[in-house]
Structure 1
Amino acid sequence: MRCPSCGSLDTQVKDSRPTEDSSVIRRRRVCLACNFRFTTFERVQLRELTVIKRNGRRVPFDRDKLLRSVQVALRKRSVDPERIEQEVSKIVRELESLGENEVTSETIGETVMEHLRNIDDVAYVRFASVYRNFREAKDFRAALDELSEDGKPIVPAERK
């Protein structure tokens, strides 16, 4: 592993432990050249995924981009960062278990929306507004109607 401080390849693992759901190994490392300490995470990757964009372009799947998208949707919402990481891992496993090496961006978007629906209604609507390219207020109403169809009443939060 390359040291992020000095670039040396001479690093040593000081501590390894699994995360709560045991899907990731957290490793504390130290650079033997400059004594810089840093953390790495190791996770299982079932297959190399390629994303087929709407315009037909093919790009490698980027888990970090998916994580950032989910984090943006959940910004300023009271969701534990560990839960966000777990949901992103579930989404990635679900995509990898489809059995295909290529997955469409639509499949990814719909999968993310399913998971966000179970986490937070506001995050679901935020993500849907970007993913589905909302143009008018009625587009938001349709997304809210989808949520209420699930038997979840949409009730405004009480003002403090």
Structure 2
Amino acid sequence: MRCPFCAHDDSQVKDSRPSDDGAAIRRRRQCAACGARFTTFERIQLRDLTVVKSGDRRQPFDREKLLRSVATACRKRPITPVQVERLVSGIQRQLETTGESETPSQRIGELVMEGLRGLDPVAYIRFASVYKDFREAKDFEDFAGNVGEAGRE
């Protein structure tokens, strides 16, 4: 593993343990050249996923991009980083186990919406505002009204 501080190619694993959500192995490493310590995470990847975006553009699935967008929706909400990590890991697992190598971006958005709906209504509305491209206050009002009505059923 390349050292992020000096770019030396050799580092030694000092400690390994499962991550908080159990979906990865957390490894503490030490660079053989500069002695700096850093952490890496190792995850299981069942297959390479490709996201089909609008206009039939294709790009590789980026777990970190998904994690950032979910974390942004959950910012300043009573949601722990472990909950966000579990949600993203669950979505990635669902996508990998479908047997398909290509997934429409709309499907990923729907899975995030499902997960956030059960996690936090404010994070759900925040994500929806970007995903559904709200243009004016009325869009928020209509959507939030539907969220409130669904919660009363």
**Structure 1 length-normalised TM:** 0.90
Amino acid at match of 2:7: G
Structure 1 residue aligned with 2:105: 105
Which ranges of structure 2 fall in alignment gaps of 5 or more residues?
none
Distance 2:94 2:78 in 1: 25
Distance 1:29 1:58 in 2: 35
1:36 partnered with 2:36: yes
CA RMSD of aligned residues (A): 1.2
Instruction: Assess if the C-alpha contact under 8 Å between 2:16 and 2:26 holds in 1.
Output: yes
Structure 1 residue aligned with 2:67: 67
Amino acid at match of 1:28: R
Per-residue CA distance 1:108-138 (angstroms, 9 max, x = gap): 1111111011111011111101111011233
Q: How many residues align?
A: 152
Distance 1:148 1:92 in 2: 28
Structure 2 residue aligned with 1:133: 133
How many percent identity over aligned positions?
59
Structure 2 residue aligned with 1:156: none
1:46 partnered with 2:78: no
Per-residue CA distance 1:76-134 (angstroms, 9 max, x = gap): 11111111111110111111112110001101111111101111101111110111101
Which ranges of structure 1 fall in alignment gaps of 5 or more residues?
154-160
Instruction: Assess if the C-alpha contact under 8 Å between 2:21 and 2:82 holds in 1.
Output: no
Structure 2 residue aligned with 1:77: 77
The offset of 1:25, in angstroms, is: 0.4
| Higher normalized helix content (fraction of residues) | 2
Distance 2:107 2:117 in 1: 15
Instruction: Assess if the C-alpha contact under 8 Å between 2:21 and 2:85 holds in 1.
Output: no
